[in-house]
Amino acid sequence: MDIFTNSPIHPFFFIFAAVFASGLFILNRFFSKRGPQQLPLPPGSMGYPYVGETFQMYSQDPNVFFTSKQSKYGPIFKTHILGCPCVMISSPEAAKFVLVTKSNIFKPTFPASKERMLGRQAIFFHQGDYHSKLRKLVLRAFMPQSLHYIVPQVESLALHALHSWEATHEINTYLEMKTYTFNVALLSIFGKDGAMYGEELKRCYYVLEKGYNSMPVNLPGTLFHKAMKARKELGRIVAKIMAMRREMKHDHNDLLGSFMEDKELTDEQITDNVIGVIFAARDTTASALTWVLKYLRDNPSVLQAVTVSFFLSSEEQEEVAKQMISREKGALSWGDTKMMPVTSRVIQETLRLASILSFTFREAVEDVEYEGYLIPKGWKVLPLFRNIHHNPDIFPDPEKFDPSRFEVAPKANTFMPFGSGTHACPGNELAKVEILVLLHHLTTKYRWSIVGDNNGIQYGPFALPQNGLPIKLSLKK
């Protein structure tokens, strides 16, 4: 979801890596003489020297921090988190200004250590012609015409996952969804080759994943060092697959095939983008699926609206089931996924209410004026998606799970689960398909119950139901 926008990161990920540089930056900005005509900075507070307000933000639900700041200072305010001076914005107009209207002067940004792990040539670290080229290649692989061919294979992965969960006494929903979305990511990137090298790719990626939020200390024994070794091994596996394809000279409709058709891209650039797509396609979609199960379980009337069984009836799912029966193979098709409007609204409302990506990072490449305030060059700018999605003036009764609110399309720049502008997630159609396919079979064939307390929320870095939402799954009789 994005799946290709930046995600929130753990507070200790790069505070210490950036602490001295950011300290000097702030001292220069705040203690140097400013001309009389210089615009004021947005209102707000910068917290303690060097560490700013990072601990205030992460010692509680981060959304409490965002909301309290907005209530006190308005829709644009300054702060200092994660080692960086920041301007946070929480209005649709400001989000459009940063992500669309002036996107050329607000570049995507990540900590340097994360760029090293994923690969500096990956799509979401760039702007301009190179970014445009990569985006077109990704869109070509993930457009409806291309996804049409993999829906039955996605369905096979969903059915296999559900069957394995049924055989288990209790599952951690989030962890199982991560496995499912990882398998879909490999399918969409490597096609059949993903199955051939799947175990090797998983083994290396899981090690790499553990280093994402570690301190960037590249010494033997550290998580970061292990992650960088796994990153090299992932590169060797991707190189092996590319070499095999060049030798066989077959056309492939997957993402790797799309990248390889562009003869200007180097193998290093292709590898960086392949690994970047795996990163972007996995955790956010798994988080969304986890929240869908919780919201459906908590809202029986909504679950009933998307379910067909011996006891419950749904015109939507019944129609899909009839279409499947009429076909010899009985498999879902791309067209079937477009006949699920109620389920689609459930997904939209889940993305709004859960707001998997609470914000994204941009960096001003020059001094910028907005609404009479100065956004200094080098400052981070964070559009707060969650604040916009939970604004009662935009979405009445925002804490209520109400899919019917999406019977009418939301106003522009008020619903941005996949980001906005040139860096909006190009894989959003794939994410929707894998969610719809799994939900179709889950709701029509299974029932599930949540184990233990189901009201808590954990952050790490995405907001998730407590303990990853443990559930028991059983086949409907």
Q: Residues within the annotated binding site for heme? A: 425
Tokens at 175, concatenated: 């962890």
Largest CA distance in the chain: 77
Binding residues: 425
Chain position carrying tokens 């398998």: 183
Cβ 230 vs Cβ 204: under 8 Å = yes
Phi, psi of 214 (to 5 degrees): -90, 165
Compute the C-alpha angle 304/178/144, nearest 5°: 70
Three-state secondary-structure class, residue 330: coil
Q: Is 117 exposed, middle or buried (0-12, 13-18, 19+ CB in 10 A)?
A: buried
Q: What is the DSSP letter of 41?
A: P
DSSP-assigned letters across all residues of 320-355:
HHHHHHHSSS----HHHHTT-HHHHHHHHHHHHHH-
Q: Is 469 exposed, middle or buried (0-12, 13-18, 19+ CB in 10 A)?
A: buried
Closest CA to 289 of 166, 182, 444, 385: 182
Q: Which helix (H) or strand (E) holds 78?
A: strand 76-81
Tokens at 218, concatenated: 């590249």
